[in-house]
Structure 1
Amino acid sequence: MDAFPLDAESAAGAGVSAALPAPGTALKALDAIPDPGGAPADYAPAPILIVRSGETVTAFLNVCPHQGRPLCLPSGRTLVSEGRFLVCPFHGASFDIATGACAGGPAGGSRLTAVPVQVADGMVVAA
């Protein structure tokens, strides 16, 4: 499937030059994502992190807007607080899992770059 480029503002803000997946692109099996928790997508052209908490499944560029560091550890482990907040392991910025809005820490006022996804037949796919 074709990919489409990030818009210039999102790419510049995230410090990423990549392409997002086209709708329908399979990114990860739902049962491979901890609940609550997250896991990197199986998609090489862009660093995408899929986050899950109950019925809520969202995805973002795997880049903290504070200093451009990954939001998951090298092992793929993702820090989730209270089942509602994704926490950057480097400086502790926290982001609302549903919206990507910064909820605290040094990235105040910023938000994660969302990647539209949906769940279909047990797979998380680009929407």
Structure 2
Amino acid sequence: MPEGERIAAVDDVPELGSHLFTVEDAFTNEREAILVTCDEAPGVRAWLNNCTHEAQRLDRGDGVAMRNGEIICPKHGSMFDACSGECNNGNAAGTTLPSIEITVADGAVFLRDDNYEYLRDGGMDDDDGPDSTSHLSF
């Protein structure tokens, strides 16, 4: 069995959408993170659950919006490559989502990032997160 905390089975990561989980950073701050599918090995990537343009959650609890291998910000529509995290359009153009190091083994995804500790599946239990008044829908 690989080192690191098990996050989820690879099969639990939807092809279009995300698997939301919560981690804790070195300063004991809880952070939301997402697993998304990717066409490049190992087939899954992990990102912090925030748009780089502003503190906007990409997955608000019902999975990220995805199209053609890109994660779509629900507020302004910036699109991030699911494999590289890079954005080349919209308000977040020229930025890259902060990644979380993972490994895939035995059909499961494991947290391997020394900067984070896995806490639980699902998002943070707070009501203070950013909100959107966007007209966009997917």
Q: TM-score when scaled to structure 2?
A: 0.66
Residue of structure 1 equivalent to 2:47: 60
Conserved? CA contact 2:16–2:65, under 8 Å: no
2:52 matched to 1:72? no
Query: SS state of the match for residue 31, structure 1?
Result: helix
Conserved? CA contact 2:79–2:87, under 8 Å: yes
Residue 60 of structure 1: how far off its partner (Å): 0.6
Work out the percentage of aligned pairs sharing the same amino acid: 29
Q: Aligned-pair RMSD on alpha carbons? A: 1.8
Residue of structure 2 equivalent to 1:4: none
Conserved? CA contact 1:59–1:116, under 8 Å: yes
Distance in 2, matches of 1:27 and 1:103, equals 29
Structure (1 or 2) with the larger CA radius of gyration: 2
Residue 43 of structure 1: how far off its partner (Å): 4.1
Conserved? CA contact 2:22–2:31, under 8 Å: no
Residue of structure 1 equivalent to 2:11: 31
Residue 46 of structure 1: how far off its partner (Å): 2.5
Q: Which runs of 5+ in 2 are unaligned?
A: 25-29, 113-138
Greater displacement, 37-46 / 114-123: 37-46
Give the aligned length: 103
Q: Find the partner of 1:46 among 7, 24, 31.
A: 31
Greater displacement, 91-100 / 50-59: 50-59
